[in-house]
Structure 1
Amino acid sequence: MSLARLLAVVRKELVQLGRDRLTFAMIVGIPTLQLLLFGFAINLDIRHLPAAVLDQANTAHSRELVAELASSQVLDLRRVVVAPQEIDAAMRRGEISAAVVIPPDFETRLARADRPAWQVVVDGSDQSVQAAARQLSAFPLASLDYGRAPNRPGTRAVPSVEIVNFYNPERRAPVNTVPGLIGVILAMTMVIFTAMAIVRERERGNMEMLIATPLSPFELTIGKVLPYVGIGLVQVTLILLLGLLVFDVPVRGSLLEVYVAAIVYIAAMLSLGVFISTLADSQFQAMQMAFFTFLPQILLSGFMFPYDGMPRAAQWLAEIFPLTHFLRLIRGIMLREAALGEMWHELAALAAFVAVMLSVAVLRFRKRLD
Structure 2
Amino acid sequence: MNLRRLSAIVLKELRQLRRDKLTFAMIAGIPLLQLVLFGYAINMDVRGIETAVLDQAGTAQSREVVAEIASSQVLDIRYHLDSPQDIDHLLRQGKISAALVVPRDFEARLQRRDRPPQDRLPLQLVVDGSDQSVQASARQLAAYPLPGWESRPGVEVVNFYNPERLAPLNTVPGLLGVILTMTMVMFTAVALVREREHGNLELLIATPVSPWELTIGKVLPFIGIGLIQVTVILLVGHWLFAVPVRGALLDLYGASLLFVVASLALGVFLSTLAGTQFQAMQMAFFTFLPQILLSGFMFPFAGMPKAAQWIAELMPLTHYLRLSRGIMLRQAGLAELWQEIVVLLLFCAVLLSLAVARIHKRLD
Q: Within 5 A, what are the aligned runs for 1:282-297?
A: 282-297=276-291
SS in 1 for 2:37: helix
Alignment of 1:173 onto 2:167: yes
Q: 2:133 aligns with which of 128, 133, 151?
A: 128
Q: Within 5 A, what are the aligned runs for 1:233-272?
A: 233-272=227-266
Per-residue Cα deviation, 1:90-141 (whole angstroms, up to 9, x for no partner): 11111110000111222232222524221110000111110110121234x5
The 8 Å contact of residues 121 and 156 in structure 2, kept in 1 or not, is answered as: yes
The 8 Å contact of residues 212 and 356 in structure 2, kept in 1 or not, is answered as: yes
Structure 1 281/110 Cα, relative in aligned 2: closer, same or farther at 3 Å? same
Per-residue Cα deviation, 1:246-284 (whole angstroms, up to 9, x for no partner): 110000000001011011111100000000010111111
The 8 Å contact of residues 276 and 286 in structure 1, kept in 2 or not, is answered as: yes
Please list every run of 5 or more consecutive structure 1 residues that lacks an aligned counterpart in the other structure.
148-155
Structure 2 equivalent of residue 108 of structure 1: 108
Identity score, percent: 67
Q: Which moved more, 1:343-352 or 1:7-16?
A: 7-16
SS in 2 for 1:28: helix
Provide the rounded CA distance (Å) in 1 between the counterparts of 2:8 and 2:218.
44
Provide the rounded CA distance (Å) in 1 between the counterparts of 2:182 and 2:207.
32
Q: 1:145 aligns with which of 144, 147, 157?
A: 147
Shift of 1:358: 0.3
Provide the rounded CA distance (Å) in 2 between the counterparts of 1:31 and 1:239.
32
Q: Within 5 A, what are the aligned runs for 1:88-103?
A: 88-103=88-103
**Amino acid of the residue matched to residue 69 of structure 1?**
I
Structure 1 equivalent of residue 71 of structure 2: 71
Please list every run of 5 or more consecutive structure 2 residues that lacks an aligned counterpart in the other structure.
none
Shift of 1:171: 0.6
Provide the rounded CA distance (Å) in 1 between the counterparts of 2:249 and 2:209.
36
SS in 2 for 1:342: coil
Aligned-pair Cα RMSD in Å: 1.6
The 8 Å contact of residues 117 and 159 in structure 1, kept in 2 or not, is answered as: no
SS in 2 for 1:341: coil
Structure 1 equivalent of residue 200 of structure 2: 206
The 8 Å contact of residues 211 and 367 in structure 1, kept in 2 or not, is answered as: no
**Amino acid of the residue matched to residue 233 of structure 2?**
I
Provide the rounded CA distance (Å) in 2 between the counterparts of 1:293 and 1:368.
23
The 8 Å contact of residues 143 and 153 in structure 2, kept in 1 or not, is answered as: no
The 8 Å contact of residues 143 and 155 in structure 2, kept in 1 or not, is answered as: no
Shift of 1:160: 3.8
Per-residue Cα deviation, 1:176-205 (whole angstroms, up to 9, x for no partner): 110111110000000001111111111122
Alignment of 1:321 onto 2:307: no
Which consecutive segments of 4 or more residues in structure 1 shift more than 6 A?
none
Provide the rounded CA distance (Å) in 2 between the counterparts of 1:367 and 1:163.
58
Alignment of 1:300 onto 2:294: yes
**Length, aligned pairs only:** 359
* Structure 1 length-normalised TM: 0.93
